[in-house]
């Protein structure tokens, strides 16, 4: 193999040197992947930064077996190659994709069922802000607990990437989103995405405030990214027949559950992740997102919420921004 061929077969990527703060991130040379059977090779233009990347960096959320150790759960870019048994994608087409890992790199190979066209009206860079949050929200709120028109939906972390997407999608389907956030400014930001009520979790009791906002009804559905420290209060905030969906563990993994309270509410608790699901299940989610969410994006009913863009070489700075807690919406890495 010539030196030129070897250079062409390599790519820039971001990896973790150990576990810890943003300082463990570094840009390295990695072998460029190839499109295997059933896969699409994407030349990456941008990658979304998600809390899963931060948790992996800290050493508490390793990638699933067989997945790339390179962080990054969503990208946008152009099709560089297609593998065997792949139809519907042309080289050069603009796409975005849901990943199990590998997004912080110049190229990534993805199962074809997890690749989406870039919605009309969305720039190629900003499209990287859509796949993970859209698939997470759709699979949890609409496939799993079936949010319906008129439901009161409490969304914790309303100013983040998942929160802004959940608020818009809940409102678009006729339900009533209420959000929690840590400042007046963030609550005002959330109202811009359709929140009908806001709760400052630093100064207000969200159980009491949820009852007040809903006229005593409570939350039909709660989307929770906190976990253990919110469990008891989440159950108390539910309406009769309410559904609690836990998809984050920022507040710990273990808590005591009052089963009597759960039963008296006729409530249910669902714990879920998207990253570790089999490719076949992810393909089903992606197909439903393309059918149900992409038309809303193209109509402008649901929009991206990109706060900042950093070049890949500044991945550590992007993570510092995320860790600060001051950000709203999404942070992207550009290639």
Closest CA to 248 of 312, 306, 180, 304: 180
Q: Which of 246, 271, 296 is the last residue of a domain?
A: 271
pLDDT at 268: 95
Does 48 share its domain with 116? yes
Q: How far apart are CA 109 and CA 84, in angstroms?
A: 13
pLDDT at 253: 86
pLDDT at 154: 98
Does 259 share its domain with 284? no
The structure tokens listed for 208 are 């009491």
Q: Which structural domain, as residue segments, surrounds residue 174?
A: 134-271
pLDDT at 8: 62
How many domains does the chain contain in total? 2
Residue 214 sits in a domain whose CATH number is 3.40.50.720
Does 102 share its domain with 142? no
Q: Which of 271, 289, 312 is the last residue of a domain?
A: 271
Does 266 share its domain with 283? no
The helices-and-strands tally (H runs, E runs) of the chain is 11, 15
pLDDT tens per residue across span 80-103: 999 999 999 999 999 999 999 999
Strands 115-117 and 94-98 come out as antiparallel
Residue 113 sits in a domain whose CATH number is 3.90.180.10
Q: Which residues of the chain have pLDDT under 50?
A: 1-6
Q: How far apart are CA 58 and CA 291, in angstroms?
A: 36
Does 87 share its domain with 146? no
Q: What SS3 class is residue 194?
A: coil
Does 171 share its domain with 299? no
At 22, phi and psi to the nearest 5?
Answer: -60, -20
The structure tokens listed for 145 are 């607990």
- ∠27-33-39 over CA atoms, to 5°? 130
Does 294 share its domain with 195? no
At 172, phi and psi to the nearest 5?
Answer: -65, -30
pLDDT at 6: 43
pLDDT at 189: 96
Does 225 share its domain with 125? no
Q: How far apart are CA 66 and CA 295, in angstroms?
A: 34
Residues 6+ apart with CB under 8 A from 259: none
pLDDT at 171: 98
Q: How far apart are CA 134 and CA 210, in angstroms?
A: 25
Q: Which of 250, 271, 292 is the last residue of a domain?
A: 271
pLDDT at 5: 42
Does 192 share its domain with 250? yes
Does 156 share its domain with 254? yes
pLDDT at 57: 96
Does 255 share its domain with 196? yes
Strands 152-155 and 197-200 come out as unpaired
Does 78 share its domain with 115? yes
């Amino acid at each position: 193999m010539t030196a030129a061929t070897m250079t062409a077969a390599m790519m820039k990527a971001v990896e973790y040197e150990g576990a810890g703060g943003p300082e463990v991130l570094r840009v390295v040379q990695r072998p460029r992947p190839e499109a295997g059977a059933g896969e699409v090779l994407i030349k990456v233009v941008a990658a979304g930064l998600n809390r899963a990347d931060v948790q992996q960096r800290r050493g508490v959320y390793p990638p699933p077996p067989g997945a790339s150790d390179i962080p990054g759960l969503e990208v946008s870019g152009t099709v560089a190659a297609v593998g065997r048994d792949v139809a519907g994608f042309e080289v050069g087409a603009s796409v975005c994709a849901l990943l199990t890992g590998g997004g912080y790199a110049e190229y990534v190979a993805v199962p074809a069922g997890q690749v989406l066209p870039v919605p009309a009206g969305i720039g190629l860079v900003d499209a990287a802000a859509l796949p993970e949050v859209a698939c997470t929200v759709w699979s949890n709120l609409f496939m799993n607990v079936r949010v319906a028109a008129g439901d009161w939906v409490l969304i914790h972390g309303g100013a983040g990437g998942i929160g802004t997407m959940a608020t818009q999608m809940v409102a678009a389907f006729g339900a009533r989103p209420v959000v929690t956030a840590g400042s007046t400014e963030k609550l005002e930001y959330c109202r811009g995405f359709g929140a009908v009520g806001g709760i400052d979790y630093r100064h207000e009791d969200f159980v009491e405030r949820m009852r007040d906002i809903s006229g005593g009804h409570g939350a039909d559905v709660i989307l929770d990214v906190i976990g253990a420290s919110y469990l008891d209060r989440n159950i108390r905030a539910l309406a009769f027949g309410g559904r609690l969906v836990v998809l984050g563990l920022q507040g710990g993994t273990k808590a005591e559950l009052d089963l009597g309270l759960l039963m008296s509410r006729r409530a249910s608790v669902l714990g879920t992740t998207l990253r570790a699901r089999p490719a076949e299940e992810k393909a089903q989610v992606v197909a439903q997102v393309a059918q149900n969410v992409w038309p809303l994006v193209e109509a402008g009913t649901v929009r991206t919420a990109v706060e900042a863009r950093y070049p890949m070489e500044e991945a550590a700075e992007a993570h510092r921004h995320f860790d600060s807690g001051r950000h709203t919406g999404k942070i992207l890495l550009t290639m």
